[in-house]
């Protein structure tokens, strides 16, 4: 016995070393790839600043055929659709999370949780299809619009898409609130709703904030769905009724135009610049989410 053990030792050490190196190579190369993608994006996108003047880029019209590359309507389009989507998804998502975690009886929770996971698995093309054929005609008919393919239609479907993320992250946040807080509140004579509203939700707020940020991140990067249902007209959404008109987002623009653009042309570089803007926006959102998580950890560590 002792003998086999001692002859095994170098072999096992070697396997250990091989596995460790492999994992290290994989880890570093994925970081490396992300970095390369970033470099590529920067190289192709920043060149736009050489080709196209700042005035042109910061303009309010997007007509690539006439060499007019104002990115503002696209940026504002993305922001509008995403913000409205989150405004719709936030109360619904947090409400559902509260229902699932705090109110629903055990059996209902057992049914709801897998349903929410299924919801998260619906491909965005399918949601876009649903929006085009069902929601858009509905809005067209009942809201008295010129077309059903509007920013609002996009927001509603995006909200639906962001919901599962928001629900499950918010539910985890509620779940992490210690029972002792609820007990303290109930023992003082607060009702269940007062306890949820004044104790549980405030205690879970950083987790709920993270849920919103993750939902935002998902929504702003979504392409297929918005391309299908927002009508893709590049105009500045400055008036209130813009919400019920077609709009064009950065993601839809890149997806629609990248295939036909001549490589190395100004148009090509501006599309990459759009990619950089998108990247920055998502990066800031993720940073905000991460700092919310960090604050929560630090507070947890204090106790």
Partner 1 sequence: MIRVDQNKNHLVNKISVENLYFYYGKFPALKDITIQIQDRQITALIGPSGCGKSTFLRCLNRMNDTIPNTRAVGKVLLDDKNIYSPDADVINLRSKVGMVFQRPNPFPQSIYNNVAFGPRVLGFDKSTKNLDDIVEESLRGAALWDEVKDKLDQDAQALSLGEQQRLCIARTIAVKPDVILMDEPCSALDPIATYEIEELMRILKEKYCIIIVTHSMQQAARVSDWTGFFWLGELVEFNHTHEIFTFPRSKLTHDYISGRAG
Residues at the site binding partner 1, with contacts judged by CB under 8 A: 178, 180-181, 183-191, 194, 198-199, 202-203, 299, 302-303
For the chain, give the number of residues. Answer: 303
Shortest distance (Å) from residue 27 CB to partner 1: 36
Shortest distance (Å) from residue 178 CB to partner 1: 7
> What is the C-alpha to C-alpha distance for residues 247 and 179, in angstroms, rounded to an integer?
46
Burial annotation 179-216 (CB, 10 A radius, 16+ → b, else e) = eeebeebeeeebeeeebbeebbbebbebbbbbbbbbbb
* Residue 4 or 180 with smaller CB distance to partner 1: 180
Whether 156 and 131 have beta carbons less than 8 Å apart is answered as yes
* Residue 109 or 235 with smaller CB distance to partner 1: 109
> What is the C-alpha to C-alpha distance for residues 146 and 3, in angstroms, rounded to an integer?
85
* Residue 97 or 177 with smaller CB distance to partner 1: 177
Shortest distance (Å) from residue 182 CB to partner 1: 8
Question: Count of CB atoms within 10 A of residue 274's CB?
Answer: 25
Give the closest residue to 245 by CA, choosing from 136, 142, 151.
Answer: 151
110 burial via Cβ count (<10 Å: 0-12, 13-18, 19+): exposed
* Residue 118 or 187 with smaller CB distance to partner 1: 187
Shortest distance (Å) from residue 189 CB to partner 1: 3
Shortest distance (Å) from residue 168 CB to partner 1: 23
Give the closest residue to 164 by CA, choosing from 97, 235, 254.
Answer: 97
* Residue 199 or 288 with smaller CB distance to partner 1: 199
Give the closest residue to 275 by CA, choosing from 44, 105, 67.
Answer: 44
Shortest distance (Å) from residue 193 CB to partner 1: 10
Shortest distance (Å) from residue 183 CB to partner 1: 7
> What is the C-alpha to C-alpha distance for residues 241 and 11, in angstroms, rounded to an integer?
72
* Residue 65 or 302 with smaller CB distance to partner 1: 302
* Residue 144 or 189 with smaller CB distance to partner 1: 189
């Amino acid at each position: 016995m002792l003998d086999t053990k001692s002859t095994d030792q170098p072999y096992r050490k070697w396997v250990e070393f091989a596995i460790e190196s492999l994992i290290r190579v994989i880890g570093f190369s994925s970081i490396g790839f992300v970095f390369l993608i970033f470099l590529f994006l920067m190289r192709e996108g920043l060149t736009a600043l050489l080709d196209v003047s700042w005035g042109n880029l910061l303009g309010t019209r997007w007509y690539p055929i006439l060499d007019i590359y104002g990115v503002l309507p696209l940026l504002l389009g993305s922001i509008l659709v995403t913000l409205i989507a989150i405004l719709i998804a936030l109360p619904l998502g947090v409400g559902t999370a509260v229902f699932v975690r705090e109110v629903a009886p055990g059996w209902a929770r057992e049914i709801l949780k897998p349903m929410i996971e299924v919801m998260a698995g619906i491909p965005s093309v399918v949601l876009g299809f649903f929006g085009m054929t069902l929601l858009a005609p509905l809005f067209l008919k009942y809201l008295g619009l010129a077309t059903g393919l509007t920013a609002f239609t996009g927001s509603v479907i995006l909200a639906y898409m962001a919901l599962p993320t928001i629900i499950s992250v918010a539910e985890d946040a509620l779940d992490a609130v210690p029972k002792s807080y609820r007990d303290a509140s109930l023992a003082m004579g607060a009702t269940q709703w007062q306890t949820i509203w004044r104790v549980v939700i405030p205690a879970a707020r950083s987790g709920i904030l993270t849920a919103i940020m993750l939902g935002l991140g998902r929504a702003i990067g979504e392409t297929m769905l918005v391309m299908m249902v927002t009508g893709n007209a590049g105009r500045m959404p400055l008036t209130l009724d813009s919400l019920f008109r077609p709009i064009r987002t950065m993601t839809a623009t890149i997806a629609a135009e990248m295939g036909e653009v001549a490589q190395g042309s100004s148009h090509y570089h501006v599309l990459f610049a759009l990619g950089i803007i998108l990247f920055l926006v998502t990066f800031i959102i993720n940073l905000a989410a991460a700092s919310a998580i960090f604050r929560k950890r630090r507070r947890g560590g204090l106790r």
